[in-house]
């Protein structure tokens, strides 16, 4: 599990996700939303992935998703 000590620090980092050396880009939610709006989109809906208690029973490693959701889903409309 990668540890976030400073959520506001936007950065590129390498991690293991199915394979080694996956490049991830950490951005704040504000940065992500503002880039979409500045690019001419309006935000229609936002949701985050998280582990369910049932999923955590099957795979205890999923508990880390309660600390930092792995995905942010944003539905936009082009203006």
pLDDT at 2: 53
How many domains are contained in the chain? 1
Give 65 or 20, the one with higher predicted confidence.
20
CA 70 to chain centre: 4
Question: DSSP assignment of 8-58, as one string?
Answer: T--EEEEEEESEEEEEEEE--HHHHHHHHHHTTEEEEEEEE----HHHHHH
Q: Indicate if the pLDDT at residue 75 is higher than 90.
A: yes
pLDDT at 1: 46
CA 62 – CA 75 distance, rounded (Å): 25
Within a domain: 50:
yes
Q: Quick one: tokens of 72?
A: 């942010």
Within a domain: 65:
yes
- The stretch 12-35 carries a mean pLDDT of 89
pLDDT at 77: 96
Q: Indicate if the pLDDT at residue 5 is higher than 60.
A: yes
The secondary structure element, H or E, covering residue 72 is strand 72-78
Within a domain: 9:
no
């Amino acid at each position: 599990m990668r540890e976030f000590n400073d959520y506001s620090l936007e950065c590129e980092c390498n991690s293991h996700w199915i394979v080694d050396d996956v490049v991830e880009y950490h951005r704040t939610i504000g940065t992500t939303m503002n880039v979409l709006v500045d690019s001419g989109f309006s935000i229609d809906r936002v949701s985050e992935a998280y582990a369910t208690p049932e999923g955590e029973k099957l795979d205890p490693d999923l508990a880390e998703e309660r600390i930092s959701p792995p995905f942010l889903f944003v539905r936009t409309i082009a203006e």
